[in-house]
Amino acid sequence: MLRYLPGRPLQDRPPGGDQPPGGARRARPLNVSPVLTVVRLGVLGLALVILPFTGLGSDAGAARVAWDAAIGVSIAAWLVWVLIGLVPRVPARDTLFIAALAVLAASGGILAGLSPLSPAIGVGCVVTASAGVRLRPELSLAITAETVAAFVFTSVAAGAPAGTLLGFPLAFVGLWAFGMTRQEFLLRAEQAERMLEQTRRARAAETQAATLAERARIAREIHDVLAHSLGAVSVNLQAAEGLLGTLPDSPELAKALECVERAGAYTRDGLAEARRAVRALRENASLATAPLGQQLEQLVAEFRATGDATVEFGASGEQRPVAAEVVLAVYRTAQEALSNARKHAPGQPVTLGLEFTPGAVMLSASNPLPADSLAARHGLAASGGGHGLTGLRERAALAEGTLTAGPADGQWQVCLKIPG
């Protein structure tokens, strides 16, 4: 049966029932049960199929001619009605729908008037009920009045008893009222559904706002506490370096200056990491300011400058901007992999790879295990169970990614795959 309510969607219908010009309610297709659709089609189709073989005898004369003509017109209108439901893009769909109902109303009233005790009554019943459900009150009332008028006129002409003239019009009007009630129920259900969806959206917006506020609070705390503390440490280290530079040269002094310089470098790196964390917290799904490949190249350059190991870095795929959370997760993973290689496999070459695939970013890091493979595996396994890799796994999981780390083929391998 036709699942189309002529007119624009219900969400465009102003509250209070403001109606558009023309015949149809402003309502979208409603998800009425398919079983009800099959029942409507079956009742009308069965009535029109068996009508030619019931009702009037072959010797009814003019009444028989009117009967056959009404059946033919009803079948044609019914087919148009069905085709409108099967073909969504029928031109002038609203007009065809209303015209089909109007024709069925007239022919159904005539059929019921010619043979009130036959299945012909089903045509008028389906028409009046459908008009009540689908059309504006004034137009659906007009369709019902047309059905009643055709029935009364035909019944009077055919000499039907008075009880028939009163009973069947009441049945048509009652079904029209039932259809109107059904329409109001569907419209109210649609409004309730729309209000529920608005409530869900409002709740989601509130949750997002609360999340952003908490992220901003954490970013402020990191900036105010960690960044300021590291800044103060950096200033004091510079002052200590200046004071130590005024002392006489000695091996101990050279070592002290080297430690101070190394501490200053770590402090500067910590400040950079704090800024990166603050930026990631404040940027909600925004893009990182620097390309990910460029950041990893800088990290590799710093690692080469402060260590004696060889680091090879390569990037594949079409690089693209990714969210700040993705940049931070990949950067932290590369940083942890390089640090673990320095601690557990000193002097061993490290291979770092970045790959962009459709919908994902992958990072791989590998370095050969030391000569004492058993001890190396034990040390690396202990490192993998520590806070560093555990935190990286948690960070990857929060971004719907996966991280694996462990020995394979004589190599310690770290693999990160994260959507982005």
Beta strands in 41-120 (DSSP E): none
Cβ(401)–Cβ(394) below 8 Å: no
Question: For 21-41, how does the pLDDT look when each residue is reduced to its tens digit (9 = 90+)?
Answer: 344 444 343 344 566 556 666
Distance between CA atoms of residues 299 and 276, nearest Å: 13
Residue 13 pLDDT: 41
| Apex 71 CA angle, 68 and 73, nearest 5 | 110
Residue 4 pLDDT: 38
Question: For 159-183, how does the pLDDT look when each residue is reduced to its tens digit (9 = 90+)?
Answer: 777 777 878 888 888 889 888 888 8
Q: What type of residue sits at position 5?
A: L
Q: What percent of the chain is modeled with pLDDT above 90?
A: 5
What torsion, rounded to 10 degrees, do the Cα atoms 132, 137, 142, 145 define? 60
The residue that leads in pLDDT, 58 or 138, is 138
Cβ(93)–Cβ(158) below 8 Å: no
Query: Average pLDDT of 187-197?
Result: 90
Among the ranges given (77-81, 229-233, 309-313, 319-323), the one the predictor scored with the smallest mean pLDDT: 229-233
Residue 362 pLDDT: 92
Residue 224 pLDDT: 66
Distance between CA atoms of residues 353 and 364, nearest Å: 5
| Apex 344 CA angle, 340 and 345, nearest 5 | 100
The residue that leads in pLDDT, 50 or 349, is 349
Q: Which residues contact 311 (CB under 8 A, 6 or more apart)?
A: 300, 303, 304, 338, 349, 350, 351, 352
Q: What percent of the chain is modeled with pLDDT above 70?
A: 74
Cβ(187)–Cβ(27) below 8 Å: yes
Residue 345 pLDDT: 80
The residue that leads in pLDDT, 285 or 59, is 59
Distance between CA atoms of residues 150 and 242, nearest Å: 109
- CATH classification code of 288-420: 3.30.565.10
Query: Average pLDDT of 312-321?
Result: 88
- Tokens at 239, concatenated: 């002052």
Distance between CA atoms of residues 201 and 232, nearest Å: 45
Distance between CA atoms of residues 161 and 167, nearest Å: 10
DSSP conformation class of 10? G
Question: For 324-347, how does the pLDDT look when each residue is reduced to its tens digit (9 = 90+)?
Answer: 778 888 888 888 888 888 878 877
The residue that leads in pLDDT, 371 or 64, is 64
Pairing mode, strands 311-316 and 360-368? unpaired
Residue 90 pLDDT: 63
The residue that leads in pLDDT, 93 or 376, is 93
pLDDT at 58 over 70: no
Among the ranges given (23-27, 56-60, 61-65), the one the predictor scored with the smallest mean pLDDT: 23-27
Residue 298 pLDDT: 84
Q: What type of residue sits at position 408?
A: A
Cβ(418)–Cβ(400) below 8 Å: yes
Query: Average pLDDT of 223-235?
Result: 71
What torsion, rounded to 10 degrees, do the Cα atoms 311, 362, 222, 306 define? 0
Residue 417 pLDDT: 92
In the chain, DSSP finds a helix count (H) and a strand count (E) of 12, 5
Question: For 354-376, how does the pLDDT look when each residue is reduced to its tens digit (9 = 90+)?
Answer: 999 988 999 999 988 876 544 44
The residue that leads in pLDDT, 153 or 116, is 153
Residue 365 pLDDT: 92
Domains of the chain by residue range? 10-202, 288-420
Length, in residues, of the chain: 420
Question: For 120-155, how does the pLDDT look when each residue is reduced to its tens digit (9 = 90+)?
Answer: 777 888 888 888 888 888 888 999 999 888 888 888
Question: For 385-401, how does the pLDDT look when each residue is reduced to its tens digit (9 = 90+)?
Answer: 456 778 788 888 888 88
* Alpha-carbon torsion (15, 202, 285, 228), positive or negative: positive
Check: pTM over 0.85? Answer yes or no: no
